[in-house]
Structure 1
Amino acid sequence: MSKIEIACFNPESAIIASENGADRIELCDGLSEGGTTPDFETTKQLREKINIPIFVMIRPRGGDFTYSDEEFEQMKSAMANLKTLQVDGFVFGILNENDEVNIKQNTELVELAKPYPCTFHRAFDRARDLEKSLEKVIQCGFKTILTSGQKPNVSEGKENLKKLVELSGGRIEILVGGGLRSANIEELRDYTKAEYFHSSAITDNGNFSNPNEIAALKNK
């Protein structure tokens, strides 16, 4: 049985996930943009309804992962506000204009998030140089990297995912996500030796997580 994080783009999906065995929620807004910072009030209400861990996305917009000074200030402000809600962690990732991990800005946000842990999200899959990027993310103080192995999806990225699990040596958790489904989780777990997996569990191109898919992911 794997540990499962469900990416939820609305509170309904988060409640479905919590009722069907998810270990953790990644709460976002902006499904069409691949995830942006959720609304404060939505997060507050959800925190009152579910008791599994909620990791909150901090991302001011879709598109690339290089942010202006104003956008970076927005990220800091959003995190400071959301911290007051007793969430369990934060999810973000900042690259510089050369598509390298921005050590200064990421470290600043990791420090601001304390005592809550942080996940470096799939900005990692756009970052240059797998090994150097891994070391930089560890240096910034992240506890987890969400990645498809720098490929479009986890099936294509499985060799890199296996390599990341080996290279990380337990220093950081490799959270396997991006095209993950109950149909491929067993093969990926056996091949990569990863222990934590991430999926939206959306199976119909809609907006809501599928309870049967969540249960299937958890029980494979």
Structure 2
Amino acid sequence: MSVLVEVCIDSIESLPIAEKAGAGRIELCSSLATGGLTASAGYMKQAARISGIPVYGIIRPREGDFLYNSDDVEIMLADIHTAKQAGLNGVVIGALKADGRIDETVVADMVKAASGMGMTFHRAIDHCSAPFDALEFLMSHGVERVLTSGLAKRADEGIGTLKEMVAFTQGRLSIMPGAGVSPDNAKRIIEQTGVTEIHLSGKTVRNSLMSYRNEKATMGSGDSDFAITVTNPETIAQTIAAIRA
């Protein structure tokens, strides 16, 4: 059985690294530290230009929950249009109501806006109070796959639910485990659930090439602006090797 490995990235530097290591698809994000936010228009265009594998852009306007107001929705619809114009292959979408059920109106609007593109429903499913109802809705609206940890903190802790999801969807929609997927557990997750796709970041940190450094000033919540997060090709390659072993 062939298994596709999707790699989520938050810098253009990571794209060729992931592709060379064997990734079959890219999830294009900014700010993976907050779970992944929408990439800029320029970032999308450059990714589409240089990638030899499909690139799906996450459509998530802010960190936090998946309950979106009308302004958030307008932003997401505009970002889907931007992703389409940039030449991305697909988008990664999701929205919930306050009671945890899928927001069918908002998701349907995003599906309509993304017509002609591939579509993944993101880990909003893991915060959904009726995930199997959500799966039924997504299957009826042509969504290709759902990225999920099986409602657990990590995919290897949600194997039972992942297996139930695979049985429920019966191939009408792909269940793609993500969160904590690694070379150590990828094969077990695949064998115990029957999935044909997995998702990981395989992140590492490289040192900045700056020769001048003012370590007193920092831009974010981290300890240093001189530690750059990038895809670790060894992690991706090792995961693929473990799957094929």
TM-score interval, normalised by the smaller of the two chains: over 0.9
In structure 2, distance between residues paired with 1:114 and 1:158: 32
In structure 2, distance between residues paired with 1:216 and 1:201: 10
Give the conservation status (yes or no) of the 8 Å contact 2:28–2:57. yes
1:9 is aligned to: 10
Give the alignment's TM-score, normalised by structure 2. Answer: 0.86
Offset, 1:30 = 1.5
2:220 is aligned to: none
- Secondary structure, aligned partner of 1:56: strand
1:151-205 Cα shifts (integer Å, max 9, x gaps):
1111110000011111110110101111100110111111001010000011569
- Residue from 214, 226, 233 that aligns with 1:211: 233
Matched, 1:152 2:163: no
Offset, 1:131 = 2.0
- Secondary structure, aligned partner of 2:92: strand
Write the mapping of 1:1-220 to structure 2, written as runs, cut at 5 A.
Answer: 2-203=3-204, 207-220=229-242
Gaps of 5+ in 2: 206-226
- Secondary structure, aligned partner of 1:163: helix
Q: Following TM superposition, where does structure 1 have runs of at least 4 consecutive aligned residues deviating by more than 6 angstroms?
A: none
Q: Specify the code of the residue in structure 2 equivalent to 1:86.
A: G
Give the alignment's TM-score, normalised by structure 1. Answer: 0.96
Give the conservation status (yes or no) of the 8 Å contact 1:106–1:140. no
In structure 1, distance between residues paired with 2:157 and 2:73: 32
In structure 1, distance between residues paired with 2:107 and 2:237: 34
Gaps of 5+ in 1: none
Bigger RCO (CA 8 Å, 6+ sep): 1
Higher mean alpha-carbon deviation, 126-135 vs 194-203, is at: 126-135
Give the conservation status (yes or no) of the 8 Å contact 1:7–1:28. yes
In structure 1, distance between residues paired with 2:76 and 2:106: 10
In structure 2, distance between residues paired with 1:32 and 1:153: 16
Give the conservation status (yes or no) of the 8 Å contact 1:107–1:140. yes
In structure 1, distance between residues paired with 2:229 and 2:101: 32
Higher mean alpha-carbon deviation, 1-10 vs 199-208, is at: 199-208
Give the conservation status (yes or no) of the 8 Å contact 1:76–1:109. yes
Identity %: 31
1:28-84 Cα shifts (integer Å, max 9, x gaps):
012221101001111212222221100000110000001110110001111112211
Q: Over aligned residue pairs, what C-alpha RMSD do you find?
A: 1.4
- Secondary structure, aligned partner of 1:100: coil
- Secondary structure, aligned partner of 2:112: helix
In structure 2, distance between residues paired with 1:107 and 1:219: 38
Offset, 1:206 = 6.2
Q: Specify the code of the residue in structure 2 equivalent to 1:4.
A: V
In structure 2, distance between residues paired with 1:2 and 1:19: 17
Higher mean alpha-carbon deviation, 200-209 vs 91-100, is at: 200-209
- Secondary structure, aligned partner of 2:155: coil
How many residues align? The count is: 220
In structure 1, distance between residues paired with 2:8 and 2:228: 13
